């Protein structure tokens, strides 16, 4: 295993994100994807955590499997909202004792509750509190989430959202962004952070569009704007899934090349547990495995 802050210092890094599968078929697909993407020798990979702890055991099992049975370094995501300090202590101490060196520390979203359901017990409001607790438990390289187009709950106050991000990054070692489609959104976030004296590496998150409707839904949830010109291009070929994929890969390749040219410290691919689009973008960028 390796500390991601060290990998970034030697950068650029290339990394892939997975989520815990929910069925046997999905589990087999993830296993196949892991094998296919291992061949690209990523700098690290990460595995998401269900908000409120819904994948607590699954996330740990998958990162443990990747670290033990493959050549890849796996970083668990962890969210803190709706968790007690005791929960988080248990989880993070477990990771430390198993030799994990990296954690992506997130706020997470509060569960959607019906009127009848009680608020879950929880000691945390913001990701920064998790960063501080993780720091006190072990010698981890700690990553945090960054939202180039602002967090959906902070759209009204750009300066304040950037202030919170700057404070969080000062306490952490690196950031990984929500996906976005315009390099300028990422670059203006980096400028906003520099104006606040923060130069911690923030790795752009890349979501290749292979299914326009699905990505438009994700974009709505995450506060990213789906550019109207891209939507129109995809709409024109909506009946031809292969053409949608081809355009999605082409657009993502251009975005990746622009970001690397502009000095981004790496690229983090949201794979959705599939390998093809990521492998194609890798090939287009001439990135192949390290020799």
Ligand X SMILES: Cc1cc2nc3c(=O)[nH]c(=O)nc-3n(C[C@H](O)[C@H](O)[C@H](O)COP(=O)(O)OP(=O)(O)OC[C@H]3O[C@@H](n4cnc5c(N)ncnc54)[C@H](O)[C@@H]3O)c2cc1C
Binding footprint of ligand X on the chain (CB under 6 A): 48-49, 51, 77, 79, 106-109, 126-128, 145, 151, 153-154, 161, 164, 168, 176-178, 205
Contact, 23 vs 276, CB < 8 A? no
Q: How far apart are CA 148 and CA 179, in angstroms?
A: 8
Closest CB 281 distance from ligand X, rounded Å? 18
* Strand intervals (E) in the chain: 13-18, 44-47, 74-79, 102-106, 141-146, 174-179, 202-206, 266-270
* Per-position DSSP letters for 227-264, written without gaps between them: -HHHHHHHHHTTT-HHHHHHHHHHHHHHHHHHHHHTT-
- Specify whether the CB–CB gap between 166 and 191 falls below 8 A: no
Q: Least distance in Å: CB of 190 to ligand X?
A: 15
Task: Given the residues 17, 101, 129, 280, select the one marked as catalytic.
Answer: 17
**Quick one: the chain helix, strand, coil %, rounded to 5?**
50, 15, 35
Residue 163 vs 243, nearer CB to ligand X? 163
CB nearer ligand X, residue 110 or residue 227: 110
Nearest-CB residue for ligand X: 107
Of 130 and 277, the one with the shorter C-beta distance to ligand X is: 130
Tokens in use for 287?
């990135």
**Site of tokens 């890849």:** 72
Minimum Å gap between C-beta 128 and ligand X is 6
- The residue among 177, 199, 204 whose CA lies nearest residue 260 is 204
Min CB(238)–ligand X separation in Å: 28
Smallest gap from Cβ 54 to ligand X, in A, equals 9
Region of residue 138 (left: phi > 0; alpha: psi -120 to 50; beta: else): beta
CA distance 276 to 166: 35
The residue (of 160 and 238) whose beta carbon lies closer to ligand X is 160
Task: Give whichever of 62 and 230 is closer to ligand X, judged by the CB atom.
Answer: 62
> Does residue 225 have an active-site annotation?
no
For the annotated catalytic residues, the residue numbers are 17
């Amino acid at each position: 295993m390796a500390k991601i802050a060290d990998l970034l210092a030697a950068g650029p890094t290339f990394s892939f994100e997975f989520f815990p599968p929910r069925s046997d078929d999905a589990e087999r697909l993830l296993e196949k994807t892991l094998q296919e993407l291992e061949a690209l020798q990523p700098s690290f990979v990460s595995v998401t955590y269900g908000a409120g702890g819904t994948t607590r055991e699954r996330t740990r099992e998958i990162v443990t499997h990747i670290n033990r049975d493959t050549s890849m370094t796996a970083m668990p995501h962890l969210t803190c909202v709706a968790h007690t300090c005791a929960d988080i202590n248990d989880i993070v101490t477990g990771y430390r004792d198993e030799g994990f060196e990296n954690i992506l520390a997130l706020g997470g979203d509060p569960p959607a509750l019906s009127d009848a359901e009680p608020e879950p017990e929880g000691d945390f409001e913001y990701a920064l509190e998790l960063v501080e607790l993780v720091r006190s438990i072990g010698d981890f390289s700690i990553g945090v989430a960054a939202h180039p187009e602002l967090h959906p709950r902070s759209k009204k106050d750009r300066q304040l959202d950037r202030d919170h991000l700057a404070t969080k990054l000062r306490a952490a070692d690196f950031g990984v962004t929500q996906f976005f489609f315009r390099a300028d959104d990422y670059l203006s976030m980096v400028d906003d952070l520099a104006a606040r004296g923060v130069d911690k590496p923030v790795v752009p998150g890349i979501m290749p569009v292979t299914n326009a409707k699905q990505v438009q839904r994700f974009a709505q949830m995450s506060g990213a704007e789906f550019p109207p010109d891209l939507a129109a291009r995809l709409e024109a070929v909506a009946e031809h899934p292969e053409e949608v994929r081809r355009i999605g890969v082409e657009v993502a390749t251009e975005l990746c090349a622009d970001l690397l040219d502009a000095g981004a410290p790496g690229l983090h691919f949201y794979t959705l547990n599939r390998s093809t689009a990521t492998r194609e973008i890798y090939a287009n960028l001439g990135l192949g495995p390290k020799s």
